[in-house]
């Protein structure tokens, strides 16, 4: 049974990955730099669901069937479909694992400014 998700959290981020990696991320309280591009990647709750971005086949993950939901400092770069921290690792807190579809439900566009295609964090 997963934790109740707080849909109004302004500091909630989501990282899609496989189950084993998700559990390791939660256990270490650390999200590592992407193995494919430079930076730590996730998406903000309230952002946009774009499966081609959030569930890409690139990187270490065997699949993207699970997600880590967590709190962290504000990212360096923020788009509705992706946020980026320009660092090798990111300390996270209050992290827990949910099935990917449950995390996708958090990507409801509630923080997206449709006119400017930006996200309010």
Residue 4 lies in a domain: no
47: its two tokens: 């952002």
What is the domain extent for residue 78? 12-116
| Residues paired with 98 in a beta bridge | 67
Return the minimum-mean-pLDDT range out of 32-41, 92-101, 111-120: 32-41
Q: What's this model's pTM, rounded to 2 decimal places?
A: 0.83
> Comparing 62 with 15, which gets the higher pLDDT?
15
Residue 121 lies in a domain: no
Residue 2 lies in a domain: no
Place of tokens 């952002």: 47
Is the pLDDT at 15 greater than 70, yes or no?
Answer: yes
Q: How many domains does the chain have?
A: 1
Q: What is the pLDDT of residues 61-109, one digit of tens each?
A: 667 799 999 999 999 999 999 999 999 999 999 999 999 999 999 999 9
Residue 7 lies in a domain: no
């Amino acid at each position: 049974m997963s934790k109740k998700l707080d849909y109004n959290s302004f500091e909630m981020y989501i990282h899609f990955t496989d189950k084993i990696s998700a559990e390791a991320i939660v256990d270490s309280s650390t999200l590592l730099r992407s193995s494919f591009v430079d930076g730590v990647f996730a998406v903000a709750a309230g952002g946009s669901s774009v499966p081609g971005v959030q569930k890409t086949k690139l990187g270490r993950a065997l699949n993207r069937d699970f997600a880590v939901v967590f709190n962290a400092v504000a990212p360096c770069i923020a788009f509705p479909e992706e946020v980026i921290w320009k660092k090798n690792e990111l300390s996270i807190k209050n992290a827990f694992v949910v099935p990917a579809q449950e995390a996708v439900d958090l990507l409801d566009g509630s923080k997206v400014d449709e006119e400017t295609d930006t996200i309010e964090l």
